[in-house]
Every structure is written in C-alpha cells, then in structure tokens.
Amino acid sequence: MDKETIIKYYNYTLPFYKFFYHKNSNAVHYGFFDKNTKNHQAALLNVNQCLADISRIKSGDVILDAGCGIGGSSIWLAKNYPVKVIGISISGKQINEANRLSVKEKISDRAFFYERDFLNSGFSDESFDIVWAIESVCHADDKKDFLKEAYRLLKPGGRLVIDDGFLLRKVGDKKEQKDYDAFLKGMALPNLASEQQFKKDLENLRFQNIKIYDKTKETWPSAKKIYRMSIFSYPFSVLTERLQLTPHLLTLNNLAGITQYRIIKNGLAGHRVFYAEK
C-alpha cells in the first residue's frame, strides 16, 4: 500500500479518533481489559503498561516508538520512566500534534518526534535499547522489512516489542474474504501478517528469546465498542458521502469497524504481543 493512502487516512481520521475514541489517552489502538479495568481510557493505557512490563524498561533506555501516532505511548513512557523516547510517523499532521502534546505535558526534553518512515528511518545502527510498535507494523506491505530495520536499529541485547493484529488461519469462504478485504481497505492496511510466519521471520533474522502473548480476549471489549460505534455511524457516512459532505474514506472506515468484529469473532484474526531480543 502506498504511503499517501496511509497518510491520508490518518490525517483525515485524527479528529474522529480524538472525539469518539481515545480522548486524553491519545491512543490510536485497541485497549487491554482485565478485571480491574473500569473504562476504555484505562484499557488503552493498560497497553502501554503491558508492553513496558514485557520489555523490562530500565533507567536510561532509549526507545523508538515506531509508528507513534500522535505520541500517546511516547508521552506516557517519558512521563512514567526515566527514559528518552523518539517517536516517528509518516504523517506530518500526527507529528505536529505529538510535538504540541509533548510541550503541553512538559516532557519535550525527553520525548522527540520526527516525520520518518519506520522501514527506512535514517537513524544510525544500534541507536536504540527498545523498538516499540503498537498497531503500526500492520501498515507495512512486507512485515519482514520492518523487522530488518528494527534489528539494525537495536543495540546488542536490545528488545523489540510489538502489539498488533495477526491472521490466525487461512481465510475460509467468500463471505469471510469479503469481510477481511473490507477491513483491510477501511483501515488502510495491505494485509495482516500470519502469526506463525511473523515468528519465523523473527527467527530467520536471528532474533532471540521470542515470546508471544495472546491478547485477543483482552482486546475484545474494544472490538465490540468499535463495532457498536460503526453500526450506528455507517449509515450516516453513506448518506453524507452521497451528499458530498464526507469522503469515501470515512464510509470505508466505518465498514471496517463492523467487519473487524466479525473476523475476530470467527477466529480469522486476533491480537498478539510479540517480544524478541537482538
């Protein structure tokens, strides 16, 4: 998928995510729910804590937030740990918002944001202790290209932590294929990686101590929330598109909110957290 399609998607949907979904968490991803989670905003922040625990963040770590969105995780990390965080996104609009938020949160001396591509970041070899990616690797045509760049950027012993959606089996019938295609198109995704192929790619690139955490159950309430919102908003987006008030992109995005629920419910796709070391 070309960069311009992804940039256009995130630039247009930025205010929709803010108003309808992430609010002050600034998190453009699914949340993790457990028995102690009281609301969706808390679930979104749970993802940061989960990945921080898995990657064993320590004082002085330099972290790359690859596909940082508007900087939600980067800012959270800089506020909660004595670390330096660099966030990158191909959307200049997202980077501008991330920089604004970092100043607002008074952590602009510890969180830095740049308009760069995580497949060819331009940073020096072995620059980072941790490469962190939340629901961003899915936008890469070939996920192995991201893993190669992450390996290059990590210091020896560095940690890679990825939270994303993955295919858990092959697509079944035509109806399932239609749902999967609609999900991909509406979320500006070229494909979802197979869980098993992703693990093989990590192994082939010589990553060590690979661990996989199944987070589908924890993200299910987020999937249902997105579904409920989309069921309501999809007919309106069809109407407003016909009236030339909103673009086709919004209609496709609302349809993706419906189909994501179905492909997760039928076991085609699910959420995983991958951890690996260089």
DSSP structure string for 97-150: HHHHHHHHTT-TTTEEEEE-BTTB--PPTT-EEEEEEES-GGGSSSHHHHHHHH
In a domain, 176, yes or no: no
Residue 28 clears pLDDT 90, i.e. is over it:
no
- C-alpha 143: how far from chain center: 13
What average pLDDT does this structure show over 215-232? 95
19 pLDDT exceeds 80?
no
For 75-111, give one letter per residue: b (16+ CB within 10 A) or e. bbbbeebebbbbbbbbbeebbebbbebbeebebbebb
Read off the pLDDT of each residue in 174-192 and give the average, rounded to a whole number: 97
How many CA atoms are closer than 13 Å to the CA of 243, on its beta-carbon side? Answer: 8
100 assigned to some structural domain? yes
Q: Is 244 domain-assigned? A: no
The answer to whether residue 30 is domain-embedded is yes
Q: Is residue 255 part of a domain?
A: no
Does residue 247 lie within any of the structural domains?
no
Task: Provide the pLDDT for residue 158.
Answer: 98
pLDDT number for residue 99? 96
Residue bearing the bigger pLDDT, 83 or 41 = 83
pTM of the model: 0.96
**1 band by pLDDT with thresholds 50, 70 and 90:** confident
Query: How would residue 2 be classed by pLDDT, with cut points 50, 70 and 90?
Result: confident
Q: Tell me if 43 is assigned to some domain.
A: yes
The mean pLDDT of 169-181, rounded to a whole number, is 95
- pLDDT at position 156: 98
Residue with tokens 């990686």: 193
Sheet holding 208-214, edge to edge: 111-115, 84-89, 62-66, 128-134, 154-167, 269-277, 208-214
Task: Indicate whether 24 pLDDT > 90.
Answer: no
Residue 235's pLDDT band, with cuts at 50, 70 and 90, is very high
Q: What is the CATH number of the domain that holds 24?
A: 3.40.50.150
Please name the residues in contact with 165: beta carbons below 8 A apart, sequence gap of 6 or more: 135, 138, 192, 269, 270, 271, 272
Instruction: Say how many domains are in the chain.
Output: 1
Phi, psi of 100 (to 5 degrees): -60, -45
Q: Residue 39: give the domain boundaries.
A: 3-168+190-216+269-277
**From CA 137, how far away is CA 150, in angstroms rounded?**
11
The pLDDT assigned to 21 comes to: 79
User: Does residue 248 carry a pLDDT above 80?
Assistant: yes
Provide the pLDDT confidence category of residue 212 given band limits of 50, 70 and 90.
very high
Tens of pLDDT, residue by residue over 77-129, are 999 999 999 999 999 999 999 999 999 999 999 999 999 999 999 999 999 99
Quote the mean pLDDT of the chain.
95
Chain-centre distance of CA 206, in angstroms? 24
Q: What is the mean pLDDT of residues 31-39?
A: 92
Residue 164 has pLDDT above 90, yes or no: yes
Question: Which of 116, 103, 113 lies closest to 7, judged by CA?
Answer: 116
Report residue 7's pLDDT band, with 50, 70 and 90 as the boundaries. very high
121 neighbors 149 (Cβ within 8 angstroms):
yes
Does residue 23 have a pLDDT over 90?
no
For residue 177, being part of any structural domain is answered with no
| Tokens 């010589």, located at residue | 206
